[in-house]
Amino acid sequence: MRLIIAEKPSLARAIADALPGSPRKQEGAIVVGDTTVTWCLGHLLEQAPPDAYDPAHKQWRLDTLPILPEHWKLTPRPKARGQLAAIRKLLKAANEVVHAGDPDREGQLLVQEVIEYLGWKGRVSRLLVSDLNRPAVQRALSRLEDNRRYQPLYRAAESRSRADWLYGINLTRAWTLTGRQAGHDGVLSVGRVQTPVLGLVVRRDAEIRGFTPRPFFVLWADLAVSRGELRAWWSPGEHHPLDDQGRLLAREPAASLAERLPGAEGRLVTLETQQKRQPAPLPYSLSALQVDAARRHGISAKVVLDTCQSLYERHQLITYPRSDCRYLPEEHFAAARGTLEGACREDDTLRGWLDGADFTRRSRAWNDSKVGAHHALAPTGRPADMARLTTTEANVFRLIARNVIAQFYPPLSTRDVKAEFSILGETFRARGQEILDPGWKPLFTTRDEAPPLPPLSEGEGGRVQNSDVEDRETRPPEPFNDASLIKAMMNIGRYVDDPAVRRTLREHDGLGTEATRAGIIETLVERGYLVREGKALRATRLGSALIASLPEAVSRPERTALWEQRLGAIAEEDAAPAPFLESLVADLRTLLAAADAGRLRQALHSAEGAEAKAPRRTSGRRSSGRSARSGKRRTPQRRKESR
């Protein structure tokens, strides 16, 4: 009997439906001919708790840290015992096993750890399914690989799991016990990803709170030129008081010049014209979709992930959603027209977009060299019955379909114009953009980025019709929201000061993974470290105090991003896991030595004071500075050790 072990019941059903023969259900499995398909329920196993290694570890004590297992143990999750028993029984009757976990690091881990835990010693094949439609699953079944090819991926996932346990268990116990000494009765959870994400928000809030607005002044002049009118902006010279962004800090020079401008004659001294062709945005990865869905529809990252899972598993309208890739396999290009016509035929909006598509166009999205274990999110071709979808499901599906349809539209073609005028010996600049071919852009927005300038010729004159000085004020940056925090997690190198580390992160950029980023935000909210104020995410008093009490390296992104680099080397280059874990243990000993009740007590006091003083505001237009209030305290009551 051939036994296929899928990651989830939905995938098991899709595999069974793609096999020749009539499916027959039995407890915990589906039988089709001589093949039995069973499933996990996500992770059936988890890292054993500390007291599984030594009963003395059941009591939390500082003098037992760090806890360092010599031989790692897994234990069944409480609700998974029944399914684990079913797989154990099926394995005894199997002569061939197929690993059908999702095509990513965690998918490799959660099925393989079950196979090894239950003692299977025979050959294992690997089935990679990224699309639950029957033809796609049938193609995948015809391309089984040897699971040994994916051992580096498994070792990387196993190393990640063990490292998370070491880091979270030891630091959470240390700071929770220190917190009790400082008067805080509750768990202080520390994790390798969640804590640096919290650090991003805490630092942003502190910048906003500490921001002092500064006035600056801009001067514009409306010019009549030979074939129309335009507005130009004064560019003051360095002899005037300017900030580091070239903004004028004193009103008098602008006001004095403004008085002399009406009726003044100017001349166009420099004219730069550049034609640009911008290709369509690529199809979505999960994180890119979460950013756009939050901006366009106000959908939280967690809801986007859950919606994508529903579109993938329940409705089978999209391909595997937890993807970090924005490219599509080249073999999908030939079938793209049929796939999109099938997917879009039930929706007026999608059909309208499809009518403008030219399927002879081949965009940069079709690139096998850019596709790894999975490809960009795309429609499967199954017709989308919008009446059966929720509003959120329909909105997310349209975004996914739109970005694939856009690959068959022309590039956005523009003519960008920069004009520099000399008026009364001063420099005034204007810029505009003329859209030559809108290409894909109407699928995304009808708004022009910059209005066009009238036709201009270098050397022509212009007469000032009107002018004015605008009094402006610098503003703090906006607080993080779901979209901006996901984007920050994707591009974490921007928040790293060390140029050498930033260079290293270019190819290994990111906090968390496509599958975990939304959950990290929700975990921080649930544990009382972040609070939502409208769309804004703010750090609470407790979250701010935790970051202040930790060594800076724990709350900075460098450490966890470099972890991902080491894990990537294990997965992609078959590097040994031992040096990575040994380095982590050495770091842990240093970090544990920094736990200090006095520092935490002061951090809690300081955070309370900052919360009391901070103004209540949930948004602000972005400018040069930084501000925000800490949120309300919510203390976790359950003893929960963190990853």
DSSP bridge partners of 19: none
Cα 513 to Cα 324: distance, rounded to the nearest angstrom: 8
- Choose, from 154, 167, 312, 320, the residue flagged as catalytic: 320
312 is a catalytic site residue: no
Contacts of residue 292, defined as CB under 8 A and 6 or more positions apart, other chains included, come to: 284, 399, 483
Do residues 235 and 429 make contact, with C-beta atoms less than 8 angstroms apart?
yes
Written as one letter, the residue type at 486 is I
Take residue 32 and report the two structure tokens written for it. 């089709």
Take residue 486 and report the two structure tokens written for it. 């996901």
Q: Bin 465: left if φ > 0, else alpha if -120 < ψ < 50, else beta.
A: alpha
Cα 429 to Cα 29: distance, rounded to the nearest angstrom: 71
Cα 167 to Cα 587: distance, rounded to the nearest angstrom: 9
Contacts of residue 121, defined as CB under 8 A and 6 or more positions apart, other chains included, come to: none
Mutual angle of helices 301-309 and 391-405, in 10-degree steps: 80
Q: Count CA within 13 A, CB hemisphere, residue 357.
A: 25
Cα 260 to Cα 273: distance, rounded to the nearest angstrom: 30
Q: Count CA within 13 A, CB hemisphere, residue 157.
A: 21
Nearest to 318, CA basis, from 344, 293, 298: 344
DSSP state string for 553-577: HHHSHHHHHHHHHHHHHHHHH---S
Tell me which residues are annotated as active site.
Answer: 320
